[in-house]
Amino acid sequence: MSRSSFPITALMAMFAAGPLFAQPAPPEDAARFRHEIETLRERLRELQKARRDAADADNRRFDERPYADVELYAKAAEWILRHEEFYTPAYVEQTAVALATGLARLEELQRGEPEWLNRPGTTIRGYVSKIDGSVQSYAITLPAGMNPNAARRWPVTVELHGRSNQMNEVNFIHRHDGRDAPEGLDHVRLDVYGRGNNAYRWAGESDVFEALDDVRRRFRIDDKRITLWGFSMGGAGAWHLGLHHPSQWSSVGAGAGFVDFYKYQNQAEKLPDYQHQALHIYDAVDYALNAFNVPVITYGGELDKQLVASTTMVEAAGERGIEIPLIVGKGQGHRFDPESREKFMAFHRQHSEKGRAAYPGAKEIRFITFTPKYNRCEWLTVEEMIRQYEPATVEAKLDDDEGILRVKTENVAVLQIARDVKGFVDIDGDLLPLGGAAGGLLPGVYYERAANRWSDLTYQASRRFAENPNLRKRHDLQGPIDDAFMQPFVCVRGSGEPWSKEHAAWADWTLERFSREFDKWLRGRPPVVEDRELTEELIASSNLVLFGDPGSNSVMAKVLDRLPVRWDEQGFEVNGQRYDAATHGLSLIYPNPLNPQRYVVINSGHTFHAQDFEASNAWLFARLGDIAVQKVTRTDDGYEEQVQWAALFDMNWRLPDR
């Protein structure tokens, strides 16, 4: 595309030689981009409304997906402008091309001929995230000659990019959009954006699965032939996603990356216990046993200091009798050499051709988790643990001759086993029917441990268990505070008169900081409503993140008596200790009394902040546990926060020492 209208001299002076750092676009380009963004969005909204109204009138389903494929270009341009992420003159050109592509797609939609939908090669696609309603991008590569309407199901390779501090949506589009399919490509390739540079943690983790689900909705995908791999930060993501979700992949490949916070950071000093325990959420080395359930390969350059991640995982798996092949690039630093890469990819081709066994498939599993967040392997689900952040293990093997599934557990309170697995089950020596009294009305049979004995639950008991009346920690309801932002959430701001103006000022600043940091680092705007605008639909569908105090926030006042805190106009009491609300801030996560299937969060966004995103992805771990009190001191540019007390609730959402 011609850019002869650009003020090149001024542009080059603006981006003088030297280290790359974020800068604004030249003023006249910025003004033109803003106009083009608004024009694109206005025309897209008009077309979308007209087509939706026509579909409703004809009682037809309206397909939203092509509209996200256009909106993503406007979103990319808006974010690069607002965060002034123009690292070189090329980013100005890339933004112009992105907006031109968005406009071209809009015109194709208006003609009813969106040719990009099935175009061979690489195109950028978008989806609307369930988390925050933002449009997120990914790249998909289709083989030449692929017929999406044919009955064939296609294997998929999910590729996770490494850390690139100069990559944003515009640059991601530039790197991928319009590439030809590699010669001989025989699968669909998904390049995940992952909401930027976060090692596929938190909302970045959710993005991988949301993008993959969007691909499933568009194309016929073979779920038994999904390869996952990445290098550097992508390698860290592959270790994490591969071993936390071992049943999702036909094979996993991790190049370099990191797997252990302390080793990666060369940190000898132990973190406070509420942080130390929460490292078990993402430290992949803790999940090495799960390599039993999925073929894994790793690579590291001989001269790369991150080779230690590969050797650490190989050793951890080896101690459990599991072999992870290791390829070492001779004389290589932090990169692949061609020969090693070919061996690495040959491993994935071999296992993709084989595919995972058809469900229920595996006759034997060996599974470990430290949290109900990651609780499923093949046909078995760890519904409840005895103690969170300690190893919960299940080893299960089907004895075909006797028709018995033999299961050994540690630190497991409740199991669910899919009905597809027939016969009887022996759990830690207790022989029980596998089929159960539930009569096939539930997808799995529930088994509960009580007084060191296992029993199967009746249908009625299973239904009651699923409703979680006793508020036990469960999958997606286990904390810590940061977990609330991996599912749909809405921030609720108080509109009333606060009990403490000082506390209200800190709460407002906390919401502003969270909104700013989520926008910059996780590439979306947190949804915000006032307490009086909260609807029953939002209560049913979203985690509620409440800001203010019981005086200013009517929703907080409504749930206060069912939270583990006492609060009045003078201050609040937690864990038997009284605090002055004018000088202290309270943050917590808890099952929402208005909808116990969702969270309520008090006065907190993510508990890690901009300096952690900037420093290293390894620092993106939970800082405040499930509940914390901080001393807050006003400064010239905000607040200084110092943790006075923090803790993790037990499996009953109670403080362990009370």
Residue 437 predicted with pLDDT over 70: no
| Structure tokens given for 560 | 């206060």
Task: Say if strands 135-142 and 154-160 run parallel, antiparallel, or are unpaired.
Answer: unpaired
Of 302, 383, 273, 298, residue with least CA distance to 348: 298
Cis link prior to 480 (omega < 30° from 0)? yes
Amino acid at 225: R
For the chain, the straight-line distance linking the first and the last C-alpha, in angstroms and rounded, comes to 67
Residue with tokens 């950071």: 265
Exposure class string for 298-308: b at 16+ Cβ within 10 A, else e? bbbbeebebbb
Residue 243 structure tokens: 């071993």
Residue 106 reports pLDDT greater than 80 = yes
* Class of residue 319 by CB neighbours under 10 A (exposed 0-12, middle 13-18, buried 19+): exposed
Which class for 599: exposed (0-12), middle (13-18), buried (19 or more C-beta within 10 A)? buried
Query: Averaged over 288-308, what is the pLDDT?
Result: 97
* Mean predicted confidence (pLDDT) in 604-621: 96
pTM of the model: 0.95
Is 448:470 a contact under the CB 8 Å cutoff? no
Query: Each residue of 33-80: pLDDT tens digit?
Result: 999 999 999 999 999 999 999 989 999 998 999 999 999 999 999 999
- Could you read off the pLDDT of 124-152 as tens digits, one per residue? 999 999 999 999 999 999 999 888 778 89
Helix (H), strand (E) at residue 255: strand 251-255
Handedness of CA 544, 547, 552, 556 (dihedral sign): positive
Structure confidence by residue, pLDDT tens digits, 230-269: 999 999 999 999 999 999 999 999 999 999 999 999 999 9
Handedness of CA 73, 74, 79, 80 (dihedral sign): positive
Return d(Cα 602, Cα 621) in angstroms, integer.
19
Residue 257 CB-half CA count within 13 A: 33
User: Which pLDDT score, from 0 to 100, does residue 639 have?
Assistant: 97
Q: Categorise residue 401: left if φ over 0, alpha if ψ from -120 to 50, beta otherwise.
A: alpha
How far apart are alpha carbons 287 and 373 in whole angstroms? 13
Q: What pLDDT, on the 0 to 100 scale, is given for residue 640?
A: 97
Q: Is the pLDDT of residue 18 over 50?
A: no
Q: Please state, in angstroms and rounded to a whole number, the distance separating the CA atoms of residues 512 and 275.
A: 24
The two three-digit tokens of residue 178, written as one number: 């319009």
pLDDT in the model for residue 205: 98
pLDDT at residue number 442:
59
Name 338's Cβ contacts closer than 8 Å, sequence gap at least 6: none
Q: Average pLDDT in the 96-110 region?
A: 98
Q: What is the mean pLDDT of residues 409-427?
A: 88
Q: Is 439 left (phi over 0), alpha (psi -120 to 50) or beta?
A: left
- C-alpha span between 79 and 523 (Å, rounded): 8
Domain boundaries, the chain: 364-385+389-467, 481-647
High-pLDDT (> 70) share of the chain, %: 94
Tokens of 34: 């803003």
3-class DSSP string for 504-546: HHHHHHHHHHHHHHHHHHCCCCCCEEEHHHCCHHHHHHCEEEE
In this predicted structure, the answer to whether residue 176 has a pLDDT above a threshold of 60 is: yes
pLDDT score, position 20: 63
What confidence tier does 421 reach under pLDDT thresholds 50, 70, 90? low
* Whether residue 21 has pLDDT greater than 90: no
Average the pLDDT over 585-594 and give the result: 97
pLDDT of residue 467: 76
**In this predicted structure, what is the pLDDT of residue 223?**
96
- Mean per-residue pLDDT, 310-330: 98
pLDDT at 439 over 90: no
pLDDT, tens digit, 9 for 90 and up, residues 354-365: 999 875 668 899
| 76 Cβ neighbours under 8 A, 6+ residues apart | 95, 98, 137, 168, 169, 170, 172, 173
- The amino acid sitting at 370 is F
pLDDT 10s digits, 621-637: 999 999 999 999 999 99
So what's the pLDDT on residue 419? Answer: 75
pLDDT tens-digit readout, 519-561: 999 999 999 999 999 999 999 999 999 999 999 999 999 999 9
Percent of the chain with pLDDT over 90: 86
pLDDT tens digits for range 373-413: 999 999 999 999 999 999 999 999 988 788 899 999 999 99
Mean per-residue pLDDT over the chain, rounded: 93
pLDDT at 6: 40
